[in-house]
Amino acid sequence: MSVFPENFMWGGAVAACQIEGAYNADGRGLSTSDIHAYDRALNRKKVKERGGTRAQIEKAIHDTEGYYPKRYGIDFYHTYKDDLKLLKEMGFRAFRTSISWSRIFPKGDEEQPNEKGLEFYDSLIDEIIANGMEPVITMYHYDVPLYLVTEYGGFANREVVDFYCNYAKVLLERYKGKVKYWIVCNQINYVPVVKFGSLGIYDDQTTPDKMEELVYQAVHNQFVACALVKQMASQIDPQAQIGTMISDEIYYPASCKPQDIVFTLKKNRMQYYFTDVQFRGAYPGYALRYFKENGIDLKMQEGDAEILKNNTMDYLAISYYYTKILDAEKNSMVPFDGLQNPYLEPTPWDWRADPLGFYYCLSEYWDRYQKPIMVAENGFGAFDKLEEYGKVHDDYRIAFLRKHIEQMKEAVKDGVDILAYLSWAPIDMVSSSSNEMSKRYGYIYVDQDDLGGGSKKRIRKDSFYWYQNVIRTNGEKLE
């Protein structure tokens, strides 16, 4: 008998901005994902924060020479039916994707949606369901309409909350009864790394000494937007489940020195802050203290506290890839300022895979909130090689996933309520961080290089058949 419940949702996850392409088709507007040019001199171990100054954004918009991979993805916009058949062949029970906000509202501030954009998602969602999968839909995943960035300043401007809610209302009404699981925004805690993609804040939007305050103001506005979406969903489609999503960024102390232990506690709490607000419905005291001591003055409108209190999230979606450690003498409270764990082996992108950390992560979040958890991302990016006779032997990926699923199973044995395991990503696509095709996660190889060349042919890797058996046995056969 399987440890996992019979209705456990095995599947995979992608993002519209990395997979769809067709950036200028059927009325779609530009988004924050469309101005990331491929860097031929990429240093994979020091991938730069995505974004730019206002002038750099304008230059990218009008650039006719650079290659912008996310504008083209793997052409899922035109190949989705065949791609979904391959996922069905694996036995997928759920498929997570996102909706391109600028495909529905090209500028973001229109009153009426782009019907051609909605028609694409009508067909996509129907096709997901027809192939026996539960659609898990992220309302936006690092693709804020670019006009909302250049003309409004992104989520730092409270007006954008209204635009987002108008967009969300269209989705909730359009897909009532079809989409049960919604993720309001991808990895809400992943700032400042994606302050441009997620918050819509550009590099010179304010002075350096005020940037942290602007980022946290934008996050507050996102909190309010998410709560308002939950409030709308309760009225429009009471069966809908509204989840928030975080990237697990919980650290280990570098040693058992009390200074390292306490410093790690304090820094970890500023990661829990995001979910504390969205599940407990109020700002925790430690966060308020941090804001006060760092000169961060958040502007909260009348009624915000009540909105947050009365509209907490239904479930927690987590992405998990690696862990890091903290040394009180070497590290600061700046997000993502951590050290690599010397006990763990590096990947080509200098991440440290840590299956036991996956168990730790799932356990900590369950113990803290007692809310259902969805594993919305977990995977292994690697340089896959297409061998003779069209084979891709990715035993390293199988080993990574096996070890993580084993630890997820241990968490389930402890009573952790896990809804789904949606590995990142079932099919090769453009990397979110490094903007390249070479960083491959999929069970399905896509014959496409970093500059968009290749046949685009889809090829089953060894991991395709392995994951097919994992799903068939409901997680019991992992060899």
Question: Per-residue confidence at 48, pLDDT binned at 50, 70, 90?
Answer: low
Structure-token pair, residue 290: 């941090």
The residue among 184, 101, 90 whose CA lies nearest residue 136 is 184
Question: Per-residue confidence at 335, pLDDT binned at 50, 70, 90?
Answer: confident
For the stretch 259-318, pLDDT in tens is: 999 999 999 999 999 999 999 999 999 999 999 999 999 999 999 999 999 999 999 999
Asked whether residue 192 is domain-assigned, the answer is: yes
pLDDT of res. 340: 94
Q: Are 425 and 379 in contact (CB under 8 A)?
A: yes
Instruction: Check which CATH number belongs to the domain holding 126 and give it.
Output: 3.20.20.80
Is the pLDDT reported for residue 21 higher than 90?
yes
pLDDT of res. 432: 87
User: Could you give the percent of the chain with pLDDT greater than 90?
Assistant: 90
Orientation angle between helical segments 76-90 and 462-472, nearest 10 degrees: 50
Is the pLDDT reported for residue 390 higher than 80?
yes
CA distance 196 to 218: 11
Bridge partners of 95, per DSSP, are: 12, 135
How does DSSP assign 181-227, residue by residue? EEESSS-TT-TTTTTTTTT---TTSS-HHHHHHHHHHHHHHHHHHHH
- Phi, psi torsion values for 370, nearest 5 degrees: 55, 40
Is the pLDDT reported for residue 12 higher than 90?
yes
Q: Is the peptide bond between 192 and the residue preceding it cis, with omega within 30 degrees of 0?
A: yes
pLDDT of res. 50: 67
Asked whether residue 81 is domain-assigned, the answer is: yes
Q: Are 266 and 333 in contact (CB under 8 A)?
A: yes
CA distance 93 to 281: 32
pLDDT of res. 45: 66
The residue among 91, 93, 126 whose CA lies nearest residue 419 is 93
pLDDT of res. 283: 97
Bridge partners of 420, per DSSP, are: 9, 374
How does DSSP assign 347-359, residue by residue? PTTS-B--HHHHH
Q: Are 316 and 244 in contact (CB under 8 A)?
A: yes
Asked whether residue 2 is domain-assigned, the answer is: no
pLDDT of res. 238: 95
Write out 274-309 in H/E/C secondary structure.
HHHHHHHCCCCHHHHHHHHHCCCCCCCCCCHHHHHH
Asked whether residue 462 is domain-assigned, the answer is: yes
pLDDT of res. 49: 61
Asked whether residue 3 is domain-assigned, the answer is: no
pLDDT of res. 351: 86
Return the number of other C-beta atoms located less than 10 Å from residue 213's C-beta.
18
Asked whether residue 479 is domain-assigned, the answer is: no
Question: Per-residue confidence at 345, pLDDT binned at 50, 70, 90?
Answer: confident
Question: Per-residue confidence at 479, pLDDT binned at 50, 70, 90?
Answer: confident
Structure-token pair, residue 155: 């989520």
Average model confidence (pLDDT) for the chain? 94
* Stretch 363-385: mean pLDDT: 96
Asked whether residue 4 is domain-assigned, the answer is: no
User: Could you give the percent of the chain with pLDDT greater than 70?
Assistant: 98
Find the domain containing 83 and state its range.
9-472
pLDDT of res. 302: 94
Is the pLDDT reported for residue 1 higher than 90?
no
Is the pLDDT reported for residue 113 higher than 70?
yes
Is the pLDDT reported for residue 339 higher than 90?
yes
Asked whether residue 379 is domain-assigned, the answer is: yes
Is the pLDDT reported for residue 375 higher than 90?
yes
Is the pLDDT reported for residue 53 higher than 80?
yes
Residue 449 CB burial class (10 angstroms; 0-12, 13-18, ≥19): exposed
* Stretch 427-443: mean pLDDT: 92
For the stretch 222-268, pLDDT in tens is: 999 999 999 999 999 999 999 999 999 999 999 999 999 999 999 99
For the stretch 167-196, pLDDT in tens is: 999 999 999 999 999 999 999 998 877 899
pLDDT of res. 388: 79
pLDDT of res. 292: 96
* Run of H or E residues at 232: helix 208-236
Pairing of strands 252-253, 325-326: parallel
Decide: pTM greater than 0.85: yes
Is the pLDDT reported for residue 47 higher than 70?
no
pLDDT of res. 434: 84
Domain count for the chain: 1
Q: Is the peptide bond between 94 and the residue preceding it cis, with omega within 30 degrees of 0?
A: no
